């Protein structure tokens, strides 16, 4: 896995998290319970977000040990293979508490990489402005 590959998956994590925040988190738990389209969309986004985390490099995951990578993998496996027994209380806890820290990790890393790759503007003053 290369750093370039990580960037692709980090971008997907950030995008999926934003979409979860803009839909499920904004609308609330009652809508998640009652609106099957919102519930299905949220589950799909959580599954694909979790799948993207599985494709991140070991070195990236080791550098961000504050993220519970094994728990994310476990959720993904449960959502994909045990979908008939998904507990919406757990899903809501993930939406409410776990998505944002993961998204922030992805966004910060992407910003760090963009900053590192951005060429310094030449002003002739040697200040890199």
Please give the residue range of the domain that contains residue 73.
3-117
- Structurally, the chain folds into a number of domains equal to 1
Backbone phi, psi, residue 37, to 5°: -70, -40
Is residue 109 classed exposed, middle or buried when 0-12, 13-18 and 19+ CB atoms within 10 A define those classes? buried
72-93 pLDDT, tens digit each: 999 999 988 887 888 999 999 9
Specify if 123 maps to a domain.
no
Predicted TM-score (pTM) of this structure: 0.84
Specify if 76 maps to a domain.
yes
The mean pLDDT value of the chain amounts to 90
Tokens 């959502």 appear where? 79
Specify if 8 maps to a domain.
yes
């Amino acid at each position: 896995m290369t750093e370039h590959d990580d960037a692709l998956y980090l971008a997907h994590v950030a995008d999926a998290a934003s979409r979860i925040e803009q839909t499920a988190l904004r609308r609330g738990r009652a809508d998640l319970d009652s609106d099957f389209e919102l519930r299905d969309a949220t589950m799909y986004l959580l599954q694909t977000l979790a799948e993207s985390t599985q494709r991140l490099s070991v070195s990236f995951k080791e550098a961000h040990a504050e993220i519970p990578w094994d728990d994310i993998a476990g959720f993904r496996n449960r959502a994909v293979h045990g979908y008939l027994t998904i507990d919406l209380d757990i899903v809501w806890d993930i939406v409410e508490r776990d998505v944002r820290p993961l998204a922030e990790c992805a966004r910060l890393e992407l910003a760090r990489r963009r900053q590192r790759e951005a060429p310094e503007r030449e002003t002739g003053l040697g200040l890199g402005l």
